[in-house]
Amino acid sequence: MSRTRTDYLWIPVFALLVVGAIPWFLWGDATVVAGLPLWLWWHIGWMVLAACAFALFTRGAWDRGMGVRHG
């Protein structure tokens, strides 16, 4: 099974998504934005980013890895 260079770029992308999932730098911060704590906004934004990254992954590397052929 042949992998393209872009397929290997997903490894550091997902590693960064895992590392950034916990906002260590916001621990103990009591800042509130629009009625919600800042750390909660971080998680909301991070989940949106992770969902977008996974959507892109499934339309490229995942299809090639699973042998899915389109049209």
Whether 71 is covered by a domain: the verdict is no
Task: Give pLDDT, residue 70.
Answer: 65
Q: Where are the beta strands (DSSP E) in the chain?
A: 32-33, 36-37
The pLDDT assigned to 65 comes to 67
Asked if the structure places residue 27 within a domain, the reply is: yes
The total domain count for the chain is 1
50 belongs to a structural domain:
yes
In a domain, 23, yes or no: yes
Tell me which residue range forms the domain holding 19: 5-66
Question: Mean per-residue pLDDT for 22-48?
Answer: 92
pTM, entire model = 0.74
| Residue 45 resides in a domain | yes
From residue 62, give the alpha-carbon distance in Å to each of 12, 17, 51, 57.
16, 17, 15, 6
